[in-house]
């Protein structure tokens, strides 16, 4: 055919196509199938059937590399034909003698057999669960009848409320969902950062160590609470001590310039040095809070009920005598 071009279309299943089957482009017949070749014995190809079709060169201008080759059927039981879809203008044009891959048609026999299998499984399921389904239906009927017998108007109001509620939900829910999406997007990275922290804390503490650590924490807090309580008591006691009381106590006792009775401990190899003589300050009169002199042993003073003994120096011993420094030469 001088005004026709030849194309080779390959299928794994031709679906009833035979020699002379019409070829259409955009629903218009432009050629026919000239030859059918079986390729099952050729290991170099994956397809099983090669259809040699002749179409007019004018129609070939609309057939591109991205065109599809379908095996269609005119009506339910009509004849078969090859339908070629027009490709995009940006795709290259097919030329005479090109080989293309067609779209395998659905196998009606397989669809029917699979439909029978599915229908059989559905029937088996219904037969197995028929008693349960009947029980559920009876329960629903009894429930509806009891509600209708008790208060038929209430049932009617309930259904009317549902009818009005559904449009309201359809109107209000989409904005709520849209507004919650940014929050959810912000929560995702935060949750992603919390996961490793929780994993590290779980690994550090452990399920067995966590109760022990909590017990230790409670014990420490209790101890700290007791310490604070004792500190409060000390502060309450110190609140009664003022400057006059301290002056009274020091004036009554005297200020010792040196306190050291007995034999001091001398490091080995060191020259012993005797302590200096005891020096006492003169007693000063005790004053009360108003600056008045108190009696030496006032009955209202709980700190000085007994006379104060005068301090005395200890008698020298041979050890302390040896420690005394030599008298200077005259």
Q: What SS3 string covers 5-51?
A: EEEEEEECCCCCCCCCCEEEECCEEEEEEEEEEECCCCCCCCCCEEE
Q: Which residue has the higher pLDDT, 129 or 236?
A: 129
Cα–Cα distance measured from residue 326 to residue 120, given in angstroms and rounded to the nearest whole number: 130
Instruction: Domain ranges for the chain, please list them.
Output: 4-105, 152-205
List, for residues 14-43, the tens digit of each pLDDT value: 778 889 889 998 888 898 999 988 887 667
List, for residues 175-222, the tens digit of each pLDDT value: 777 777 777 777 777 766 666 666 666 666 565 666 676 677 767 766
Confidence class of residue 160 from pLDDT cuts 50, 70 and 90?
confident
Cα–Cα distance measured from residue 136 to residue 125, given in angstroms and rounded to the nearest whole number: 16
Confidence class of residue 259 from pLDDT cuts 50, 70 and 90?
very low
Cα–Cα distance measured from residue 284 to residue 253, given in angstroms and rounded to the nearest whole number: 9
Instruction: Provide the pLDDT for residue 236.
Output: 54
Contacts of 128 (CB under 8 A, 6+ apart): none
Contact 14, 36 (CB under 8 A): yes
């Amino acid at each position: 055919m001088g005004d026709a071009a030849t194309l080779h279309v390959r299928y794994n299943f031709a679906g009833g196509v035979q020699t002379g089957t019409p070829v259409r482009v955009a629903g218009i017949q432009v050629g026919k199938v000239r030859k059918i070749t079986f390729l099952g014995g050729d290991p170099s190809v994956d397809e099983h059937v090669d259809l040699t079709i002749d179409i007019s060169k004018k129609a070939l201008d609309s057939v591109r590399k991205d065109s599809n080759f379908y095996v269609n059927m005119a009506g339910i039981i009509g004849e078969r034909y090859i339908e070629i879809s027009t490709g995009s203008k940006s795709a290259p044009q097919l030329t005479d003698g090109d080989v293309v891959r067609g779209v395998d048609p659905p196998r009606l026999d397989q669809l029917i057999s699979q439909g029978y299998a599915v229908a059989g499984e559905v029937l088996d399921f219904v037969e197995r669960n028929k008693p349960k389904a009947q029980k559920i239906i009876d329960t629903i009927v009894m429930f509806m009848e009891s509600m209708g017998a008790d208060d038929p108007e209430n049932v009617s109001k309930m259904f009317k409320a549902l009818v009005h509620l559904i449009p309201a939900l359809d109107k209000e829910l989409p904005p709520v969902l849209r507004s919650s999406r940014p929050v959810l997007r912000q929560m995702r990275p935060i949750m992603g950062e919390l996961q490793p922290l929780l994993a590290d804390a779980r690994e550090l503490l452990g399920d067995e160590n966590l109760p022990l650590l909590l017990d230790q924490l409670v014990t420490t807090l209790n101890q700290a609470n007791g310490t604070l309580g004792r500190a409060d008591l000390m502060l309450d006691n110190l609140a009664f001590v003022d400057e006059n009381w301290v002056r009274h106590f020091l004036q009554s006792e005297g200020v010792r310039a040196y306190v050291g009775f007995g034999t001091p401990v001398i490091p080995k190899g060191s020259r012993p040095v005797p302590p200096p003589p005891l020096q006492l300050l003169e007693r000063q009169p005790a004053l009360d809070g108003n600056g008045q002199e108190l009696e030496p042993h006032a009955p209202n003073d709980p700190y000085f009920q007994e006379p104060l003994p005068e301090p005395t120096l200890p008698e020298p011993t041979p050890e302390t005598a040896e420690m005394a420094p030599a008298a200077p030469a005259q």
